[in-house]
Amino acid sequence: MKKLNKTQFSLFLPVFIIIAALSISAYYGGFKKEPTKVNQTISTIKPLDGGGPIKLATSLDNSYYYDNDNLYLYIDLKADKVGEDKERAPLNIGVVIDKSGSMADKNKLDYVKKAVDYVIDQLEADDYISIVTYDDYVDVLQRSAVIRDKYDLRDKVSKLRAGGFTNLSGGMFEGYDQVNGSYMRGYVNRVLLLSDGLANRGVTDRFELSDIVRNKNRSDGITISTFGVGNDFNENLMADIADYGKGNYYYIRNSYDIPEIFASELKGVRNLVGQGTKLKIKFPSRYISLNKVFGYPYEITGDEIVIDFKDVFSEQSKGVLLKFDVKRKIDSRLKFESELTYEDVTTDFRQVSQKSENSIEPAGNKYEYDKNRNESVVQNISVFEANDMMENALKEADNGNYEQARNLLKDARGYMDKQMGEVAPSPEMKRQSDNIDRYGTDLESAETKSEEEKKEMQKSGKYDNYNARKK
């Protein structure tokens, strides 16, 4: 073969480069590239101050102190609307299905199959899905993967049959493992857990399960939403799992609502804007102590409170109320420092930090204190305090103490009437007021209700109250 001299080679070199570039482009263009799994690490990019898609607002109920026993700090998070042209976040979801014997009643399992079919149909090329089923035992119907043959997966789902007991914990743990195996930063990494009955195999204790979920959320960063069907599941357990797992809780009264509610959950998580969302509040612990955090689980160390929200989605709003007890008379200006941090998913995971400061100082007289009351915060105090009073009434009714429950609910009603006379009632106040009245009407005839009616009364009352405090 005749060799090319240096001049000839230099003439042909551009041609070689063009041909090689076209060949590489054609090769990669012909094949869909799989998403690359990345480690669960936090960005080391210097945080941006503000300017992200989630906005933080904080307010005290009053900027002055005047011989009051309590003071409140209200925190509001609001996410911007993501434009329709913005690329949606891909999914890495694990569907965990209860197929115990009771799921055969009222065609519950058939409706679950329809819901899962809907989820499968909505999957796109870069979405991951796993399907886990449980009764006495736990089975993996579909390991976490990008699905190439939707028909085959739907066929597997169609063959599910109900039977056995309820190993909820086993199904949940496997769901976590499947999602964790495909965990990707920037994906919605979430377990969807469905049950219609009481956990009676594996770990069954409500508080032990809640602790496990809390630890899973910390270590793996995976969220979990729960779907309780009918009137025989433990609504306290399912709500706790969703709270500590940073997801949503749904009470599904009618089996035929299952597909619609699954669709609502899936639609809601499509537009992810922030991951690793965390709020820190530093308060003057020398003068005050934390009494309660309304709305979300929290951790406290010394003078710092931490609330971990994890994922935040387009147009989502989160309201948190902190109640403090005054330990000693406030005789100087005090300040509260709040900081919101998160990874902005809409701009290549840049770390965003937004800070807010509030202060309180002694009032010269009661008139000065009264005229500086923050009506918006007082409205939110009314909602959360009445919500807490209703929650206590619900707990008494759980134990069959219906008269005590009625008395507590009467106190809640009186409290709301007083508050609605002092401030302009907000839509949230009206909603909480309606919840109290609705549950109160049900509670009047509690002793004469059937066991099934009592279960529905409690689940409905708790679900209304749960949604009111989640705003």
Contact 277, 311 (CB under 8 A): yes
Contact 71, 362 (CB under 8 A): no
* 458 compared with 41, residue with greater pLDDT: 458
Q: How far apart are CA 199 and CA 247, in angstroms?
A: 20
Question: Residue 348: its pLDDT value, please?
Answer: 83
- Are both 394 and 431 inside the same structural domain? yes
Q: Please check the confidence at residue 23 and state whether its pLDDT lies above 60.
A: no
- Are both 281 and 402 inside the same structural domain? no
Q: Please check the confidence at residue 342 and state whether its pLDDT lies above 60.
A: yes
9 pLDDT tier (thresholds 50, 70, 90): very low
Q: How many domains does the chain have?
A: 3
Could you tell me whether strands 272-282 and 188-195 are parallel, antiparallel, or unpaired per DSSP bridges?
unpaired
- Are both 352 and 384 inside the same structural domain? no
Q: Which residue has the tokens 């507590």?
A: 408
Question: Residue 49: its pLDDT value, please?
Answer: 63
Structural domain of 236: 91-270
Q: Please check the confidence at residue 209 and state whether its pLDDT lies above 60.
A: yes
Kindly state whether residue 437 falls inside one of the protein's structural domains. yes
**What does the pLDDT average to over 330-355?**
94
Which tens digit of pLDDT belongs to each residue from 221-271? 899 999 999 898 999 999 999 999 999 999 998 888 999 999 889 888 888
At which of 270, 288, 303 does a domain end? 270
**What does the pLDDT average to over 397-414?**
97
- Are both 277 and 265 inside the same structural domain? no
Q: Strand, helix or coil at 432?
A: helix
Which tens digit of pLDDT belongs to each residue from 344-358? 998 888 999 999 999
Report the phi/psi class of residue 142: left, alpha or beta, with left for phi > 0 and alpha for psi in -120 to 50: beta
Q: Which H or E run includes 258?
A: helix 258-268
Q: Which range (47-56, 146-155, 282-291, 455-464) has the least confidence? A: 47-56
What are the backbone dihedrals phi and psi of residue 253, each rounded to the nearest 5 degrees, phi first?
Answer: -70, -45
Kindly state whether residue 7 falls inside one of the protein's structural domains. no
| Residue type, position 463, single letter | Y
Kindly state whether residue 158 falls inside one of the protein's structural domains. yes
The residues near 154 (Cβ < 8 Å, ≥ 6 apart) are 117, 120
- Are both 101 and 62 inside the same structural domain? no
Kindly state whether residue 41 falls inside one of the protein's structural domains. no
Kindly state whether residue 59 falls inside one of the protein's structural domains. yes
- Report the CATH number at residue 97: 3.40.50.410
Question: Residue 88: its pLDDT value, please?
Answer: 84
**What does the pLDDT average to over 325-329?**
95
Q: How far apart are CA 170 and CA 96, in angstroms?
A: 10
Which tens digit of pLDDT belongs to each residue from 48-57? 566 799 999 9
Local structure of residue 228 (DSSP, 8 states): E
* Among 126, 146, 140, 154, residue whose Cα is nearest residue 96: 140
At which of 238, 253, 270 does a domain end? 270
At which of 371, 399, 432 does a domain end? 371
- Are both 410 and 423 inside the same structural domain? yes
Write out the two tokens for 183.
């965990």
Contact 330, 318 (CB under 8 A): no
Kindly state whether residue 328 falls inside one of the protein's structural domains. yes
Question: Residue 47: its pLDDT value, please?
Answer: 53
Kindly state whether residue 174 falls inside one of the protein's structural domains. yes
Q: How far apart are CA 460 and CA 463, in angstroms?
A: 5
- Are both 239 and 314 inside the same structural domain? no
- Are both 243 and 327 inside the same structural domain? no
**Average pLDDT across the chain, whole number:** 88
85 pLDDT tier (thresholds 50, 70, 90): low
Local structure of residue 334 (DSSP, 8 states): E
- Are both 244 and 212 inside the same structural domain? yes
Question: Residue 89: its pLDDT value, please?
Answer: 87
Kindly state whether residue 38 falls inside one of the protein's structural domains. no
Q: Please check the confidence at residue 392 and state whether its pLDDT lies above 50.
A: yes
Contact 445, 396 (CB under 8 A): no
Q: Please check the confidence at residue 84 and state whether its pLDDT lies above 80.
A: no
Contact 136, 167 (CB under 8 A): yes
- Are both 114 and 257 inside the same structural domain? yes
- Are both 173 and 256 inside the same structural domain? yes
- Are both 333 and 466 inside the same structural domain? no
